[in-house]
């Protein structure tokens, strides 16, 4: 397994070692000791799975209090995955990282607590599975506009399919009271 740090502290791209032959393939999608050694904090307490059609954009979402770290992987299709540093006082506050995660490349992305996260489906459909470091608390969830001009995210679509909540989400500058402080 290869663990690659990114330009945002705590965000780690994981590339599993895949063993394949004429029968198919095998890889470890999670191994607590290897992930801990690779810089991914533990434990994970909840697993989630979603399936979405092409053009669906889910995000940008955060949770405070009880911020969640997320380990994201795609088990069907392909997504354009985005994590934005929304930790108050972070040296990379307001910057984002975007990666393509797919069932084909089998890459995973660890997004630490305090970042906001979203993805857009670029294949006909995508099934996304992710582990969380904190339980979901609906009253703590908040959204940030996917097209917040201050964030400068170039999404792979100009007219995404959005939930009502995401259609009406405010800009990051308008949710400062929801953000958690940066802890180095």
| Domain annotation for the chain: domains and CATH numbers | 2-178 (2.60.120.10)
Mean residue pLDDT of the chain comes to 97
Whose tokens are 């992305």? That residue is 109
Residue-level pLDDT at 42: 85
Radius of gyration of the chain (CA): 16
Give the whole-number percent of the chain exceeding pLDDT 70.
Answer: 100
What pLDDT digit, counting tens, does each position of 127-161 carry?
Answer: 999 999 999 999 999 999 999 999 999 999 999 99
Indicate which residues carry an active-site annotation.
Answer: 61, 130
Please, what is the Cα angle at 64 between 50 and 179, to 5 degrees?
Answer: 115
Q: What are phi and psi of 159, to 5 degrees?
A: -130, 75
User: pTM of the entire structure?
Assistant: 0.95
Mean pLDDT of 44-73: 97
Burial level of 76, CB count in 10 A (0-12/13-18/19+)?
A: middle
């Amino acid at each position: 397994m290869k663990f690659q740090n990114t330009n945002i502290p705590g965000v780690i791209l994981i590339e599993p070692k895949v063993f394949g032959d004429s029968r198919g393939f095998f890889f470890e999608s999670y191994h607590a000791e290897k992930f801990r050694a690779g810089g991914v904090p533990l434990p994970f307490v909840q697993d989630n799975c979603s399936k979405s059609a092409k053009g669906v954009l889910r995000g940008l979402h955060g949770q405070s209090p009880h911020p969640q770290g997320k380990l994201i992987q795609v088990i069907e299709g392909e997504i354009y995955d985005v994590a934005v540093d929304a930790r108050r006082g972070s040296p990379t506050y307001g910057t984002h990282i975007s990666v393509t995660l797919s069932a084909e490349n089998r890459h995973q992305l660890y997004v630490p607590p305090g970042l906001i996260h979203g993805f857009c489906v670029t294949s006909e459909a995508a099934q996304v599975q992710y582990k969380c470091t904190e339980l979901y608390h609906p009253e703590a969830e908040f959204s940030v506009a996917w097209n917040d001009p201050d964030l400068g995210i170039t999404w792979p679509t100009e007219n995404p399919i959005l939930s009502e909540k995401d259609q009406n989400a405010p800009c990051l500058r308008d949710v400062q009271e929801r953000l958690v402080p940066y802890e180095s």
